[in-house]
Amino acid sequence: MSQLADSQLRELADDLRALQDELRSLLELSAEGAKPVDLDAPIGRLTRMDAIQQQTMAAANREASKLRLSLVGAALSAIEEGDYGDCAGCEEPIEFRRLKAKPEARMCIACQGARERAQ
């Protein structure tokens, strides 16, 4: 069971909503850059390669933002359900400092580290 104080929970909910707005704006602004490059455009080979590389990076960044937006939505739902702040690995409370740095975190530092080492 989460040991967050009500004021901490409200602060983190505000952080999550702000992050959600930021990610939605970022996705909206980056939509154009992630569109496929027109291979028939009358540009040089190096310019086309650069455009394809930029498009690939923009698409990868958009996918990462979409994933993070999904995690933010899940965290906001967990707040509503009263399950926010508990580690999905060990079920112990996640420290406020971790949630403040990454409010969509689903795992404590120890469990996240163990998961990353196992991959």
Tell whether 18 is covered by a domain. yes
On whether residue 1 sits in a domain, the answer given is no
Q: Write down the pTM of the prediction.
A: 0.79
Residue 37 has pLDDT above 70, yes or no: no
2 three-state secondary structure: coil
Q: What is the mean pLDDT of residues 65-92?
A: 95
- The CATH code of the domain that includes 63 is 1.20.120.910
Q: Is the pLDDT of residue 49 over 60?
A: yes
Residue 24 has a pLDDT of 96
The predicted pLDDT at position 3 comes to 84
Residue range of the domain that includes 22: 6-118
24 located within any domain: yes
Question: Is 49 domain-assigned?
Answer: yes
Instruction: State the pLDDT at residue 39.
Output: 59
Q: What's the one-letter identity of residue 43? A: I
Evaluate whether residue 35 is within a structural domain: yes
The answer to whether residue 13 is domain-embedded is: yes
- Tokens for 38, please give them: 């027109």
Burial 51-87 (b: 16+ CB within 10 A, else e): beeeeeebeeebeebeebbebbeebbebbeeeebbbb
Mean pLDDT of 77-95: 94
> Which tokens hold the place of 94?
């996640």
- Total domain count, the chain: 1
Is 32 within the bounds of a domain? yes
Asked whether the predicted pLDDT for residue 50 surpasses 60, the reply is yes
In a domain, 87, yes or no: yes
